[in-house]
Amino acid sequence: MNAVTARAVKYHHRQLHKFGGSSLADVKCYQRVANIMANYSQPGDLMVVSAAGTTTNQLIDWLKLSQTDSVLANQVQQAIRRYQQDLIIGLLPDKKAQIVKSAFLAELDRLSTLVDKPIHADIYAEIVGHGEIWSARLMSAVLEEFGLASHWLDARLFLRAEFAAQPQVDETLSRPLLQQLLQQHANKRLVVTGFIAQSKQGKTVLLGRNGSDYSATQVGALAEVNKVTIWSDVAGVYSADPRKVKDACLLPLLRLDEASELARLAAPVLHTRTLQPISVTNIDLQLRCSYQPEQGSTKIERVLASGTGVKIVTSHDDVCLVELIVATQQNFSQIYKDIDLLLKRNQLRPLATGLHPDRKLIQLCYTSEVAASALALLKEMVVVEKLSLRDHFSLVAIVGAGVGKNPLHSHRFYQQLKDQPVEFIWHSEEEISLVAVLRTTQTSHLVQGLHQSLFRAEKRIGLVLFGKGNIGSRWLELFATEQKTISARSDFEFILAGVVDSCRSLLNYEGIDPSRVLAFFDHEATIHQDEALFLWMRDHPFDDLVVLDITASDLLAKSYLNFASYGFHLISANKIPGALASDDYRQIRDAFAKTGRYWLYNATVGAGLPINYTVRDLKESGDNILSISGVFSGTLSWLFLQFDGTVPFNQLVEQAWQQGLTEPDPRIDLSGQDVMHKLIILAREASYEIEPEQVRVESLN
């Protein structure tokens, strides 16, 4: 009787539209809402409205100050008066405005006689709930001005509920009362007050802060509508609060169980009980933005597709902990089970629970609005050694079906928390959320980090390979076997987009199979002009483009400045650019630095061993490098090890070339130019100013 009964109902085409306070904040907002009702509703549809703007908060302030500071209380009352009158005058012609204003002023005067009395629950509800009455009356009059037949209803005429921490509408009593009113005002758009109901004794009952959304779905169920649309200042449910995370994305569909968990975690976009009437009926629920109706929306879906992990990062910067210390002689597990059952029965399920059997400690996390009610209930019903309330905590959670079973998402959640002041972490029983309670009230940076870590799109990196000779061919073989492994390890998708030799190129933004490219290059490659090739590269669709220079080409070295200006990254095995004259070398280095692109050339010296990095690290650590010695030509080393006079030297050179042990032109090795290039590169890494002509070499050619 105290819950919406699950039953088969014949639903009509009637819809219900709910508008929150931010959608009714000023004159333009009211007019915008009226336009929405003109375009998105039909005669017979219902509206549920919240108090305009911050009216509810103002009424609470007025009530509290009236007990302590009459001067400030009067100032707040006058602010309420001005705000409501400005809305009325700005929206209605004089005659209608006078009627609505007179009703408002009479009610405000009546409330003034109540604020001086001792504040009991019924007086508090009577005063604080009046913002919805003013909104509904005014909204109905505005709809009439827009040519829409309308009537406003005080929900206390039909909604029946009793005082409780979380009041529940009595469907059995409320349904016939509403149905009678619907028949009386058929073919009119009915504007209903949110947030308020009436007890059997005729007292005003508040349905909880942000309870207007619950009012909306509850009234929708009682009126047997087929759809409820909740209009607010956001388009729906985002992957995170868009005010905290700029790249948060709108979720067009959200599973009902995910939406329920998000609401339970006190996310502002969904009230904790909004979904109760939805879950036991066939009502469709949609969330939309009243400021931009066509911006997009979130539809709550009942189809329980298999969960794949996190969909939403949510947070709350003002939560409290109700802490219970269980006596040593008490059964910890049984006490917790009894408490859990008690809280569920009274609709006071905590946001998260910390269980510490070794310390005999139970921690229950609540929003500050609910914590006092939970504490009072536990004091009355539970016997423990100690019961206390602690505040100044925050909550961060990830929500999504199956998130607790997703090892990657769980790992990233814990990684982001490793340096945070974590009080405890809680896993929901349904594996639909992971919740961390923190000893801080600032979560913005953590939410941003979590969102970036969990929702970062896999970057697509395009690769263009220059050179398919011995080294290039071997690189293609290695890339073919390691492509998937590298992508999985780095969270980047690496796509081979081009292979280029001295005059032809094979190009495809969609990607080229590295295991096939050599076999099909001669048939599929086309002759290219450098300008056309670079334009194709410049117009790439990737997040980044990386050029791999696996050549010994001085002509390609002249294109390095273009690569930098186009925003390409460059990985070079070509030694020539790093050994150019100092002015040319610095020009290339500075060009990449200015554009924030990488020029990496560790493959130039040491056969890929991190020699360049080692030299650089020594310098950055403050060491002075006096000398660098070693074998600087693997080619010559191999040749002299093999040469014993039995095989002609030129044949050994041929063998070395075939095995990929030489430069594309072996004469570069024999001339000493290759050694000279390496020496200059290392000397510059060691911060020595050196020019090519300063290195003396003796040629074997």
Report the b/e string of 244-279 with b at 16+ CB within 10 A.
Answer: bbeebebbeebbbbbbbbbbbbbbebbbbbbbbbbb
Residue 188 known to be catalytic: no
- From 177, 141, 145, select the one nearest 159 (Cα to Cα): 177
- Residue 64: Cβ-neighbour burial (10 angstroms; 0-12, 13-18, 19+): middle
Residues in the chain: 701
Question: CA triplet 635, 641, 644: central angle to 5 degrees?
Answer: 125
Contacts 24+ apart (CB under 8 A), 540-543: 540/462, 540/497, 540/509, 541/460, 541/462, 541/509, 542/460, 542/461, 542/462, 542/495, 542/497, 542/509, 543/459, 543/460, 543/461
Amino acid identity, position 295: Q
User: Residues with Cβ < 8 Å from 494, sequence gap 6 or more?
Assistant: 461, 463, 483, 486, 487
Strand partners, 227: 15, 284
| Residue 511 amino acid letter | G
Q: Compute the distance between CA of residue 154 and CA of residue 101 in angstroms, rounded to an integer.
A: 17
* Structure-token match 């868009």, residue found: 242
188, 244, 468, 678: the catalytic one is 678
Q: Which residue has the tokens 């009714």?
A: 24
Collapsed DSSP state (helix, strand, coil) of residue 239: coil
Q: Is the dihedral of CA 617, 619, 625, 631 positive or negative?
A: positive
> 3-state DSSP call for residue 46?
strand
Backbone angles phi, psi at 97, to 5 degrees: -60, -40
Q: Which of 6, 4, 39, 15 is nearest to 227 (CA)?
A: 15
Q: Give residue 87's identity as a one-letter amino acid code.
A: L
Residues 122 and 129: their CA atoms lie apart, in Å, by 10
For residues 310 and 409, is the Cβ–Cβ distance under 8 A?
A: yes
- How far apart, in whole angstroms, are the C-alpha atoms of residue 475 and residue 467? 10
Catalytic residues: 678
